[in-house]
């Protein structure tokens, strides 16, 4: 009965358009009142105490860093560099969007932030060059999904905290899978552009043009080196690296690029505060929701069902992937990570499957990254729609072939574990 109250209320609230955070909190509250002997204040206590975590401080700082980079001219210079490198080929602007998103992902850690920063430049530009509006927004939304795989990554921070897995190892593990996902997007962008005759922006660049673009973007390109280099050199923790990234973005935007005036600073801090407040509420109520699931032994039930479906580890992984893809259609990434990690991590690390928890973290985040572009939730689709002023229906149709290519990348990442474990093992 408790399960019926918890999930029935949650999905009903989702279907009527209630925000995810409120759906989680209200469902937990109703379940506690009507179906358990747990004190009502447990919901608030769990929500509050879950936020008392030093590693979680990385999230607001990475959000702030991404906001400062977007407002301070860093994203524009990365776009200029990507345009010089690849903008001249067939479908050049679409491919620039993917490459620029991979660059920006390495300094923002957020999928929606990447879509907003890159899409504000690239979607109008693609429309101006006669690219289909739906395709322009769809490839931008998909490219933003790379942002949660290439470090730093806010979902990797959450997975590390909830699953007690090294955040530094997760950052390293996401590099090769992120590149693979980006490469798959480049392939599909080229194929669609070739079919629709979406031309490049000009002639191949000279060495001088490339060197000039690299010089302009050098301060932006140093950010991943500072973040990851400091972590693996033992100078600071992943949480401290987030604060350093925000400070670095502030210094570059104010004193070097000089594009962060008081108005731009206010806008960047306000945007980061709004995004972080939403994230914090979701994390808190997700913990309360997960607590009630644990109380009713729901994780054990789901684990038994999955392991009982087949004795073949490859089939079990396929079932888990399908399950996660469906979850990603309805639940945001942070909530899904908090709720599903305690359920699925013991399953995949059991003797029957024996998966490395770092590899599973990459699979989990990749699935949820695809959820960014899967209706009806598909937050990247909504961000791209708003940023590029493209009807949601057009994006939903155009995303289909791109979605299928992302599934190909997911299968490669799932069944070749070395792609995720090679760099963390090398670092050890």
Residue 88 structure tokens: 């001249």
Check if the beta carbon of residue 201 is closer than 8 Å to that of residue 83. Answer: yes
In-domain check, residue 26: no
**According to the model, what pLDDT value does residue 291 have?**
81
Q: What per-residue confidence (pLDDT) applies to 412? A: 97
Per-residue pLDDT for 108 more than 70?
A: no
Helix then strand then coil, % of the chain, to nearest 5: 80, 0, 20
Overall domain count for the chain:
1
Let me know if residue 261 belongs to a domain. Answer: yes
pLDDT for residue 109: 59
- Whether residue 355 contacts residue 348, with contact meaning beta carbons closer than 8 Å, is answered with yes
Residue 260 placed within a domain: yes
> Residue 216, class by beta-carbon neighbours within 10 Å (0-12 exposed, 13-18 middle, 19+ buried)?
middle
Residue 244 is assigned to a structural domain of this protein: yes
Per-residue pLDDT of 148-195, as tens digits, reads 888 888 889 889 988 999 998 999 999 999 999 999 999 999 999 999
| Tokens found for residue 25 | 């909190």
- Count of positions (residues) in the chain: 428
In-domain check, residue 11: no
Whether residue 17 is contained in a domain is answered as no
**Strand, helix or coil at 169?**
helix
Give the pLDDT confidence of 201-227 residue by residue, as tens digits.
Answer: 767 888 888 899 899 888 888 887 888
N- to C-terminal Cα distance for the chain? 47
pTM of the model: 0.84
CA nearest neighbour of 77 among 54, 50, 107: 107
Between vectors from CA 384 to CA 131 and to CA 414, what angle results, nearest 5°?
95
User: Which residue range forms the structural domain that includes residue 245?
Assistant: 39-427
CA distance 26 to 9: 8
* pLDDT tens digits, 116-157: 778 888 888 888 888 999 999 999 999 988 878 888 888 898
Work out the mean pLDDT of the chain and round it to a whole number. Answer: 85
pLDDT at 358: 96
SS3 393: helix
Indicate whether 111 belongs to any domain.
Answer: yes
Residue 1 clears pLDDT 80, i.e. is over it: no
Q: Is 156 within the bounds of a domain? A: yes
């Amino acid at each position: 009965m408790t399960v019926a109250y918890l999930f029935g209320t949650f999905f009903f609230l989702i279907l009527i358009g209630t925000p995810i955070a409120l759906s989680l909190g209200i469902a937990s509250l109703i379940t506690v009142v009507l179906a358990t002997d747990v004190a009502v204040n447990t919901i608030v206590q769990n929500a509050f105490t879950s936020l008392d975590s030093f590693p979680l401080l990385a999230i607001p700082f990475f959000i702030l860093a991404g906001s400062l980079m977007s407002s301070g001219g860093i994203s524009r210079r990365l776009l200029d560099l990507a345009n010089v490198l690849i903008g001249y080929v067939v479908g050049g602007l679409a491919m620039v969007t993917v490459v620029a998103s991979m660059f920006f992902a390495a300094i923002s850690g957020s999928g929606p932030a990447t879509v907003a920063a890159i899409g504000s430049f690239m979607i109008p530009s693609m429309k101006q060059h006669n690219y289909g509006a739906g395709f322009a927004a769809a490839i931008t939304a998909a490219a933003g999904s790379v942002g949660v795989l290439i470090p730093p990554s806010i979902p990797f921070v959450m997975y590390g905290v909830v699953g007690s897995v090294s955040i530094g190892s997760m950052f390293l593990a996401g590099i090769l899978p992120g590149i693979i996902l980006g490469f798959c997007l480049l392939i599909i962008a080229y194929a669609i552009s070739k079919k629709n005759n979406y031309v490049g922006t000009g002639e191949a660049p000279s060495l001088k043009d490339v060197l000039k673009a690299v010089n302009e973007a050098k301060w932006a390109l140093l950010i991943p080196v500072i973040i990851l280099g400091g972590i693996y050199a033992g100078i600071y923790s992943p949480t401290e690296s987030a604060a350093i990234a925000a400070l670095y973005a502030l210094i570059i935007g104010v004193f070097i690029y000089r594009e962060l005036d008081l108005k731009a600073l206010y806008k960047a801090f306000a945007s980061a505060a709004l995004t972080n407040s939403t994230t914090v509420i979701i994390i808190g109520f997700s913990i309360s929701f997960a607590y009630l699931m644990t109380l009713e032994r729901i994780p054990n039930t789901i684990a038994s069902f999955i392991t009982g479906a087949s004795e073949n580890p490859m089939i079990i992984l396929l079932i888990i992937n399908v399950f996660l893809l469906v979850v990603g259609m309805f639940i945001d990434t942070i909530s899904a990570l908090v709720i599903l990690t305690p359920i699925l991590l013991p399953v995949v690390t059991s003797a029957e499957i024996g998966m490395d928890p770092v590899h599973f973290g990459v699979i989990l985040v990749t699935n949820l990254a695809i959820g960014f572009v899967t209706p009806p939730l598909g937050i990247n689709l909504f961000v791209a729609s708003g940023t590029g002023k493209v009807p949601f229906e057009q994006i939903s149709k155009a995303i289909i072939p791109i979605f299928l290519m992302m599934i190909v990348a997911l299968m490669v990442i799932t069944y070749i574990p070395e792609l995720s474990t090679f760099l963390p093992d090398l670092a050890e």
